Structure formats: C-alpha cells, structure tokens
Chain A
Amino acid sequence: MSRITPHLVFCLLLSFQATGFASSHATSAASPYFSAPYTGEKVKEYKIQLPTSRYEKETFNIPKDCGKLNSRLLEGNGHWGNSIERRLWMKADDDCRYLNFLNKYSGKASQDYVSNYDFYNANITDLPLRPGCDLNLLLHNPAACPPPMQGMPNFSMFMSTMPMQQTREKENLKDCRFENGLFRGYIYHTGMGLRCIRDSKAPGYRILSVDFADVNGDDCQDAVLRMMPVGRGARPSLLVLPLTRCGNDEKFILPPGSDYPRFGPDPE
C-alpha cells in the first residue's frame, strides 16, 4: 500500500502535468478564423443554434463546443432540421474538423520553410499545380491530359475560358501570382511555361486565410491555405489546401499523409 500511494501520487502529478501541457498547448494552438453563419463575418468563434430533435435546439459555441457538437453528431442528431440547418450542421462540423486538422499534431515543428512565404502574394508557379497541359491539347483533346490531383484547384477552368482574342503582348509571367490573396485571370501553358493574363472580371481564387501547423506530424511546419473560387459561376465552397516544403527554394508540395486538400463540405 505504502508503495502504491507514492506511485499514484506520481501518476496523478504526471496526469496533471500532462493536462497542464495539453491545456497550455491548446492555448498556443492554431486559432483560425471562421465565417460566421448567417452573417458571413470573419470571426474567431461563433454561436450556432442547431436542432437536436424535432422540437429541440441547442446552441454551440464553435470552436469551444466542438467536442459537444461531435458527440451530438455521433448520436445521430445531424439529420434534424431543414436543409439549411442540416447544411449548418456540416459547416460547424467542417470548422471543428479543420481545427482538429490544424491541431492534430500538437508538437511544434522544428523545421519551418513556409511561414516566411507571403502566400497572399504567392507566385502561381510556386504552388503545386496540375501537371502542365498544353492549352491546345486541353481544348482539343482533354482526355490526353492527366486528371487533376484530388482536391486540387482545377486551374484548367481558367484555361478553358480564356478569351482567344487576348493579345500575347499582355502575357506576363509576373502576372502569374496572387495579389493580396486574389488571382483573377487566365492561365495557360506554353512551351516556355505558364503564362497569365490578369482580368478582374475573370474567374479566380481568393485566399481567405493561411494557417500554419504541422498537419502531418513530420516535424516540418506546413501552411494551410483556405481558398475560395470567385467569379461568375463559382461555388462559395472552401478549398482547404495544405502546403509544405523542405527548403526555402523548393516548390510547395502537398504534405504527405495529410487527409487534405478538400473542396467543399466534408461529405461524411
């Protein structure tokens, strides 16, 4: 008994320490912005009232109540409400999943080649694009192009809508980059590489946020971009794109082993 008691105390201390560590880690963990439901405002947290049965509703404070929300979903409450409310369940769940995604590996990565990069003004060529496909080839024989990677932005949407009357003088490699988080224009591939025409009325992508975390636990810091397509016909769904690189001069790649990229709500 006398042996057991100090052992228990030690364990308790350890568990307290662990709790304390987890807690302090949580406070320093990634704290992303969200779009508040109903208003669309940029917020760190939001309250949402969701139906948990035919006649009951419960208010969740996201991200604080992500655990509770998850429990309710596991209990099968996510199907209550009308289609909008069901979509709101998914949104809250997505936001919680995103937070978990960022905070999955709590340790701080020792290598960081991403946080020093200005993603809001990123060169498109720096990003892991679909393997290049000649415009003419894409237009004439799309089947000849390899399929885009799962969850990757489909830049070919810009290619297929590029106005042919644009003069080549306007093409500029410098234009192949985001500007303050936005790229709108046309991209196409030539023998000399990617060429872009910026056009404020054309479709494009908006980088909503860039969060940094080691999302795959490889001790190498990753950047997670949340992007949204803009322009005529674009669906206002989030593209979550984690990027990483192992040297300042390297191109960004998708962090191996991560569940993302993902476009739109999680279908689960």
Chain B
Amino acid sequence: MNRILCYFSDHPFVGIGIILLLSALASSQIGKVEVRISASEMLVQNNAEQKYYQKVQDLFGDEQANLLYLESDDLLAKEKLQALQKAIEKLQALPFVSKVESLFSVPWVKTVDGYLDKKPYLAKLPDSAEESQHVLAEARKNPFLRNILLSPDRNVMAVAIMMKKPGARPPQWNDEIITHELEAIAEELRPWYGTSFAIGFPQVRTEIAERIRTEQTSLFPLAVGALLIALFLLLRQVIDILLPIMTAGFSILWTLGFMGAADIPINVVTSIIPILLIIVGSTEDIHLLAEFRHGQKAGLDTREALKHMSRRMGGIVLLTFLTTYLGFLSVGLSRIEALWQFGLVASTGLALNFLATVILIPSVLALAGKWQLDGKARIYSGKTRLLAKRYWEWLWRHRRSIIFFFLAWTLVAIFGIPRIHINHNAIDSLGENSEVRQKIELVNENLAGLESLSIVVESGIEDTFLKVRYLEELDQIQKYIQEKGWSESTTSFANYLSLLNGAFQELDEPMMPESDDIVTELMIFLNHKDVSSYVSEDFSRTRILVRHSIESSEELQSTLEDLQAFINHNLDPGLRAHITGDSVLTLSATNAMIRGQLQSIALLLVIIVLIIGVLFTELKVGLLAALPNFFPVIVMFGFMGYAGIPLNIGTTMAAAIAIGIAVDDTLHFMLRYNRELKARKSHNSAMEYSIYGEALPVVSTSIALITGFLVFTQASFEPIVQFGALGALVIATALIADFIITPLAVSSLRLVTIWDMLSLRLRKKVLEKSPLFKNLKPWQIRQFILTGRMVEFNKGDRIFRRGEVSTELYVLLTGKVEVCLPGIGEESCNLLERFTPGDVFGDVALFANIPRKTDAVVREHSTVLVLTREGIERTMRHRPLISARIFANLTSDLSRRMIKLISKQEMRAKKQNNAKGGKL
C-alpha cells in the first residue's frame, strides 16, 4: 500500500488518468441503472419454502389481487352500477389484467324452480333499494364475497383485479403503469362513490419507488452538505474538505456503473448506497489527510509529507478498509435478494471508494497539497496536547468509576434487548402518513385485508376431498381460525361445496354436505375450473386461502405457530398440512434476515478479533479491541428495545455496517498507541500522544459519519430512518467507547504488531544464538523482546555509566560493546569484558538493584535491544513460562560469566604470583 501511495504521489497525472478512464467506463453503463421494486426481493431466494409456494401457485394460482375499493351508502344504486360496469369493462381491457371479479361476475349459486342458477349477483341491476339490499344480504352469505368484496355494513364493495404475469423482457408493464392505469379508473368512479381507489401490492411498490426517487434528489445534497459542514468545521482546509467529496463522487459514479453492468436495480436498500459511500468513504481520506498535515506541521515539504503519510497510514488504511469492507460484505451473506444485492454493491462501492482514495489523494496532494488556503486546522493546536494529557490523567484517575458506569450502562441495555420486536412488513414501513398505507388500513378495517396465506392440505390419494370426513377437516381448521379472530375470511373447496349444497337443498345459508353421496351428486354440477384455486383436479390436494390484516411479523409468527400446533394436534393422520403463502414467505424472510444479520454481526466480531489478534500477535488484544465495538452493538439493541424500534430490513443492517466502520477508529487508535509506546518510555505518555494524535481524525470522521447517518432520518421510508438513527447511535457510542474503553483496555498491554515482528526477522539469527534466549521458541523470543525497544549507538557512545541507576539490561544485536571500569581520565577504560552480537550485559546491576559499577562503551556502531525492569516484570506476570526460561538462561549466563571472571582473576593472580616469584 505504501508503494501504491508513493507511486501516485510521484505520478499524479497517471492517477488522474486512471480516475478519468474508470469514470468514462462507468458512465457508459450508468444508463442501464433503473429503480425497480419487486415483490420477491424481500424474500429468501431459492429456499425450499419458496419452491414449495411456487408449486402451490402453479397448482392453485396467485393469492393476491388488486382491489378497486368503493364506498357508498347506496352501493347498488342503478347509476352507480352503470358507471361501475363501464369501469369494469375498461379494467378487463387492460393488457395486464387477467380476470376481474365483482358482484357482476361472482355467481350467485341458487336454484330457480329446482334448477341450478349461477348467474352473477348483478346479472340484473336491482330496480329498487329493497332489491339492492336483498342482493347485498345474499352476497354477504357467500364466503367468497363476504369481507373479500363486500363489507359487513354493506357500505364497502370491492372489485378484485387479478394480474397477468409479465412474460416479455423487458416487461410490457410495470408496477407504475398498473398503479396509474388503475388509479385513473378509480378516479372516474369518484363522482358516484364517496371513496374510490385502487390498492394492492403494485401500489405499495410504486410508492416505495417514487419515494426512493424523491429521496435520491433530496437526501443526496443533504448528505453532501452535512459532510461538507462537518469537514469544514473540523479540518478548515479546502483541499481536505473537497478531496473526500471527490473520492465519494467518483466511487458513486463507478458503483452506479457497476450496478448498471451487473443489472442490479436501485431498490429500497441499494438506494442508500450512494449516500452511505459519501459518509463512509470519507473516513480513510480524513485519516490520510490528517497524517499528511501532521507531516507538514512537522516541517516536511509536500513530497516528504506524502512519504510520511504513505509510510504511516498506508498499511493502516488498508486494514481499516478491509474491516469496513467486511462489515458491508457481511450484509450480503443474507439470502434475501435485497440484502444480498446491498452487500454486494455496498462492499464493491467501498472497494471502489478505497481505490479512488489511494489514487486520488496522493495524486491531488502531490499537485495541490501545498495549498493551505486557511493555514491550519483550528483543533490541531498545542492546546490540544495539553488537553489530551489532562483527559488521560482524568480517565486513569476515575477508571474504576468509569468501568462501573459502563458496566451499568451495558446492563441496562441488555435488559432492553428482550423488548425488541420484529417487523418486516413493507406496508408498515411506509409510515403512518402514507396515503397508500391509509388506503390499506381502510381495506383492513372494512374488508379482510390485503395479506394472505394458504394452508395446503393433502393426502396423496385421489378423491380424498370428495369425502365429507376430509372436508370436515378443512372446515375444522377454518372454524378454528374464525374462533381465534385473526382472519375475517377463510375460503376453501368445502365452502364451495357448502354453497352448492345450500343452493340444492334450498337453504338460507350454505351448508356442508352431510354424506359422501351428496358430495358425489353435487360434483355433477361443479366445473373444476370454478374451484381450481382451491382443489387439485384429482381432489387429493386442497388449499384453504386465508386473508388477514396482521402486519406485525411477531404477531404473525405467534399466530402461525398456534395454527400449526392446532393442525398438528387435530388433523386426521392421513392428511398432511403445510402453511405457506405470501405472508409465510415474508415471515420466513424476516427470520432469515434476523438470523443472517445476527450471524453477520457475530462473524464480523470474530473476524475483527482475529485480524487484531493476528496484527498484535495476541488474541487477548483482539478481544480487547472488540470490546469498544461490541459495546455499541449492545447499546443499539437495548435502545431499539426501549424505543420500540423493530428489527427490520433497515435496522438489522445498521449494526453490522456500523461495527465495520467503528472498528476503524479502534484500529487507528491501537496502532497509534503501539507506535507511541515504542517511541516513548512511559505508557502514560504514549497514551497521551495517542489521544492527541487520534483525536482530530477519529472525532472528525465520527462526526462526519454521525452527520451522514442522521441524514437518513430525513427519509420517509421507516426502516431507512431507523437505519440512519441507529447507525448514528452506534458511531456515537463507538466514539465514546474508543476514547474511554479503548485507552483503559489497551493501557495495560504492550502492543506488538505484526510489522514489529516482521522487522525483527533480520535479527532472528542473532537472537536465537543469544544465551538469554536459549531453549526458547522463536515466538516466545519475539513476545519477550517486543516488550523492549531498539536503540542505535554510534562508536564511542556510552550505553550506561558508572553510578547511573540501573533499570535496564541490554542485548547486543549488532556491533561491539566493551564493559570497563572507568580509569582516571574521562575516556580511559579498564576493560572487564567485550561483548559481541547476542551477548547480554547490564544485567548484574539491574538485578542487584544497585547503581552501575561500570561503563558500557560502544566500540563500533551498534544496535542494542533495551529491556526494562518494567517490561521484564510484566513478562513475569503475564508470561511466567517465558520468564522462567529467561531467568534460568540469565542465571546460566551470569554463572558462566562469573566463572569466566573468576578464571580471569585466577589467571591474573597467577600472573601476579609468577611475577612476584612464583609463590603464594
């Protein structure tokens, strides 16, 4: 990454050329992008449930229909019916309409002089009010009309419009055409009917699509404006403000090009990607720019500042991009088409944004980085260093209270989690002020509702449902549903037979045939196509069609569980029942969505823990890094529970995306702390500098993100509003956690990064030969030595002097060092011992805890590994096995050196003795 950034710093025009080329390519595909809301995009794709329902649909036809809703005190007044007749003729002439059902077409099954008469209820227009009332009263007795096409108070009537499946590609019609054509016909009826409108799922989808289009034009500028304001207030550098907007702009263009090329439409969730890219894409830019400005502030020229930025930030932004990318990609693990598309497009968009960032930022900064129109950022001043110091001191002083406060906060949030309810209903998400929703509520209030499900009962044996015993099984299920009161309309083949039986027996009400013989007789007068929606041709399979108005996924779940339990307990063992249908698929999608998103969150957290664990060579560090990111998730779910925000397609995405974004700041903070810790002796000082160094980029990216997420709260689609609010909440909580939990959590650790490890590879051989590390595995050596620091000395330097306080021991990595007793002159030295790479020195005074008795003089340029008493003690505490081996090695080495010293002394004494005459 460093090289890429450096390359584009050196070749800015190549970078700009690539950007323009990619933009030209994307522009050629952008025309193919379309807003398309489909019914199936919210459902689980290619699962067994959907395949089963597809078979049911092939056998029995669609459950859903559009309704032309008509309300009037006098529904069947002649002039009204004449107008309605004309409207129905127009409906039938529409190319997308397959069938129109109304009182003009639904047969009034009765006998006239003993012969069956199936003429429609309105075969003849009523001549009087009494006749009208009689027709309506009779129609109410028909279960296929009652609450489906006629309200209980007989003031609301509906016309059911069945749609053809658009076969051609591109389809000859779409939801918008259907909506507008039907609405035009409903409009024509308004002079006659007090209320007249067309309603159905095409209308819902059209409203969603229209809102998406409107919001693309209103929210997009708002997001750009919010980001500009946030960046201006925090950075005050025109280039720094414009660059994130530019990278976002290019990445949005490329992403839309990708969508066009991949035929991925703009739908409820993919519609938020451009705005999300503006918000999220800016974070890496801000970090790069902040480091660039750091370099400039330190006095580096543009070229050097760019190198500084590349060196310091190259790897980190790659890593943070990866975590955010995984956050977005994890949403795509869902089997729901809309979420899958979102995950794919958003992660690709983010990758493209990262590409734009690594090309555009060095290129533009190389050309215009020296322009500092406003001089400097206000927040980056000397005062903030002091502020950071005071802040860390305060944090450390009150750490217990703070930890207690956070634990209490977490506990409160955890208690809120069970209160979360689930709602994946598209209608519910339109908001209470939605005209479409209000129309649906009218349908729910006066008729049986637009939602539906099917209970398929089968035996696998021909003619099963020509037997009263099995028809009664259907009746039993229907009666149970009726008793429970959650459906105003259940219809089945049994109802049709009852209707026919009632007509033949000249009863006032439909009645279930009492014997199989009667059923057989009735079947002579039944055309299978009249009941093909309810029973298979061989009468082995049948369905109960249930219309309902349950919008809450939770309520539907418990209702269906109850129904399933009833069926399991009561259904004849020879029959099998399966509940399916649009509502069931939606519910199954809800469950899959929630399960998928919880899996995404868990997977993401595991990946984060692993990445950071590997990065810092310790799993514990990974777990600690996850802490400030796990906390916001708990807070978010708790908040959802208390605020009554449901789990839906928007809110389930919020956690995974927000964690992916929030972990960037944690990573930046930890890597900064690691760097500072190596440069400074005290972890307090390292923490102060980390807070100081990260305050601006972390706070500014977080504020930009919060502002951006809050833009979504201006949307009119409720899941998106909730997504925005929760996203902002997670980022805000993560910001707090990053500056409170992260510093406290990592302050006890000496962070070792994988880069540190890699840099030590060259010295591996020296270290493995060192007596200090005898019998230690390479990773144990690394763990230990990385608690120290590397210091380079020039020839003649003194590493320590006699009389100095001993707090460190040294391992010579390169060069040559002599330990000697100081002589009379400043530079004189009575050599005690000479050390070569791998040797340990300075340990005696350290462990004796006395001031130095000797001088350590560098005889040629040397690199020394400095191990502090504090570091050694920390190893003793945290890694007793390593420290035990180290101390054994030290003892052995010390003993060897003592024996060597004694031998030397003996030889010296012998020499002196020989010199004195050879006698002791």
Q: Interface on A for B, CB 8 Å cutoff?
A: 33, 35, 37-42, 82-84, 87-88, 91, 180-182, 184, 201, 206-208, 228, 230-237
Contact = CB atoms under 8 A, between A and B. Distances in A.
Given A230-B505, A230-B506, A231-B507, A37 B524 contact: yes
Contacts of B83: none
26 contacts: A35-B116, A37-B524, A38-B524, A38-B525, A38-B526, A39-B118, A39-B527, A40-B116, A41-B115, A41-B116, A42-B112, A42-B115, A82-B538, A83-B520, A84-B466, A84-B524, A87-B521, A91-B524, A180-B113, A184-B506, A201-B508, A208-B115, A232-B505, A236-B501, A236-B518, A236-B521
Nearest to A206: B114
A23 B511 CA distance: 47
A37 B525 contact: yes
Contacts of A233: 505, 514
Contacts of B521: 87, 235-237
B504 interface: yes
A208 B524 contact: no
B187 interface: no
Interface in B528-584: 538-539
A235 B113 CA distance: 17
Contact of A208 (B114, B517, B525): B114
B462 A82 contact: yes
B114 A235 contact: no
Give the secondary structure class of B's interface.
Answer: loop
Give the secondary structure class of A's interface.
Answer: loop
B870 interface: no
A209 to B, nearest CB: 8
Lowest 5 A-B CB distances belong to which pairs?
Answer: A40-B116, A42-B115, A40-B525, A208-B114, A236-B504
Contact of B118 (A40, A184, A230, A232): A40
Contact of A35 (B115, B118, B526): B115
Contacts of B525: 35, 37-40
A236 B507 CA distance: 13
Nearest to B516: A83
B114 A207 contact: yes
B230 to A, nearest CB: 73
B520 A82 contact: no
A231 B116 contact: no
Given A38-B525, A40-B524, A232-B505, 6 more contacts: A39-B525, A39-B527, A42-B115, A206-B113, A208-B113, A236-B505
B524 A181 contact: no
Given A39-B525, A39-B527, A40-B525, A231 B114 contact: no
B57 interface: no
B894 interface: no
B463 interface: yes
Contact of B520 (A39, A87, A182): A87
Contacts of B523: 83-84, 87
A181 B514 contact: no
A62 to B, nearest CB: 13
Interface of B: 111-118, 462-463, 466, 501, 504-508, 511, 514-515, 517-518, 520-527, 538-539
A87 B523 CA distance: 9
Contacts of B538: 82
Contacts, number: 88
B505 A234 contact: yes
Nearest to B507: A232
A263 B522 CA distance: 16
Contacts of A84: 466, 520, 523-524
B524 A228 contact: no
Contacts of A184: 506
Contact of A235 (B115, B463, B515): B515
Nearest to A92: B524
B511 to A, nearest CB: 7
A82 B463 contact: yes
A39 B114 contact: no
A119 B205 CA distance: 63
Contacts of B517: 235, 237
A38 B527 CA distance: 5
A82 B523 CA distance: 11
A232 B511 contact: yes
A145 B525 CA distance: 37
Contacts of B111: 40, 206
Nearest to A207: B114
A39 B524 contact: no
A184 to B, nearest CB: 8
B117 to A, nearest CB: 7
Contact of A206 (B506, B507, B508): B506
Contacts of B520: 83-84, 87
Contacts of A35: 115-116, 524-525
Given A201-B508, A232-B511, A236-B505, A87 B114 contact: no
A59 B96 CA distance: 34
Contact of A83 (B463, B504, B514): B463
B500 to A, nearest CB: 8
B903 to A, nearest CB: 113
Nearest to A208: B114
Nearest to B529: A38
Contacts of B518: 235-236
A203 B616 CA distance: 90
B514 to A, nearest CB: 5
B462 A39 contact: no
Nearest to B523: A84
A110 to B, nearest CB: 31
Nearest to A38: B527
A83 to B, nearest CB: 5
A206 B462 CA distance: 34
Nearest to B522: A236
A231 B462 contact: no
B120 to A, nearest CB: 13
Contacts of B524: 35, 37-38, 40, 84, 87-88, 91
Nearest to A237: B521
Nearest to B538: A82
Contacts of A42: 112-113, 115
Nearest to B466: A83
Contacts of A232: 505, 507, 511
A99 to B, nearest CB: 17
Nearest to A235: B518
Contacts of A38: 524-527
A33 B113 CA distance: 12
A42 B115 CA distance: 6
Nearest to B119: A41
Contacts of A87: 520-521, 523-524
A248 to B, nearest CB: 27
Contacts of B112: 42
A35 B115 CA distance: 7
Interface centre among A35, A38, A91 (most CB of B within 10 A): A38
B505 A41 contact: no
B17 to A, nearest CB: 72
B464 to A, nearest CB: 11
Nearest to A227: B114
Nearest to B526: A38
A198 B508 CA distance: 16
A90 B402 CA distance: 90
B113 A231 contact: no
A41 B117 contact: yes
A236 to B, nearest CB: 4
Contacts of B116: 35, 39-41
Nearest to B514: A233
A44 to B, nearest CB: 12
Nearest to B520: A87
Contacts of B527: 38-39
Contacts of A41: 115-118
A246 B463 CA distance: 49
A247 B819 CA distance: 154
Contact of B506 (A39, A82, A91, A231): A231
